[in-house]
Structure 1
Amino acid sequence: MKIQTSSASFLIEKCESESGCIIVSSNSREELYRFFGSLEITETNESFYTYTVSVCKQEFANAMILMVKEIDYSEFSSFSLQTA
């Protein structure tokens, strides 16, 4: 799954080595730190998703709640279902 915010892009993938865990990669170390600051963030060799963190599903759910709370819904005032 991909998530795009105004300050970063995130790629969420299943963790093959641990059950109940997912891998979150991003092009922004700062945003990963902001959402998952207590976890170890590692640098990858990927060209776009340069940073990654392994996180349990509950911690990811908490980060998603924070992301949704930060949405500025005033930017959607001209959006209509006809354009979707």
Structure 2
Amino acid sequence: MIIQTSTCDFLIEDSGRVNGCISVFSDSLEEIHRLFGSSELEISDRSGWRYKVCTCKQDLANALILMVKEINYLDFHSSKFQPA
């Protein structure tokens, strides 16, 4: 799953290593550290994704909640959602 924010992109997938652990990749050191600072940061060898953390689903859920809380709903315009 890819999540795009105004400041960076995140790729979230099963780590394949530890049961219940997921891998989160990002192109932004600041944002991955801000949202997953309690997890150990790694340099990723995956093309297009410089940084990686392995974290639990609960930490991902907490980060997603924080992302939703930070949405500026004033940036949404009803005209964007009108059928063409």
TM-score normalised over the length of structure 1: 0.91
Match of 1:82 in 2: 83
CA gap 1:79/1:32 in 2 versus in 1, 3 angstroms: same
Flag structure 1 segments of 5+ consecutive residues without an equivalent.
Answer: none
What residue number does 1:30 align with?
30
Moved over 2 A (4+): none
Question: Which residue number in structure 2 is paired with residue 50 of structure 1?
Answer: 50
Q: Number of aligned pairs?
A: 83
Supply the AA of the counterpart residue of 1:18: V
Relative to structure 2, which stretch is displaced further, 72-81 or 51-60? 72-81
State the partner residue of 1:10. 10
Q: How far, CA to CA, are the matches of 2:53 and 2:19 in structure 1?
A: 15
Higher mean C-alpha displacement, 30-39 vs 71-80: 71-80
RMSD: 1.3
Structure 2 unaligned spans of 5+: none
Question: What is the percentage of aligned positions where both structures have the same residue?
Answer: 49
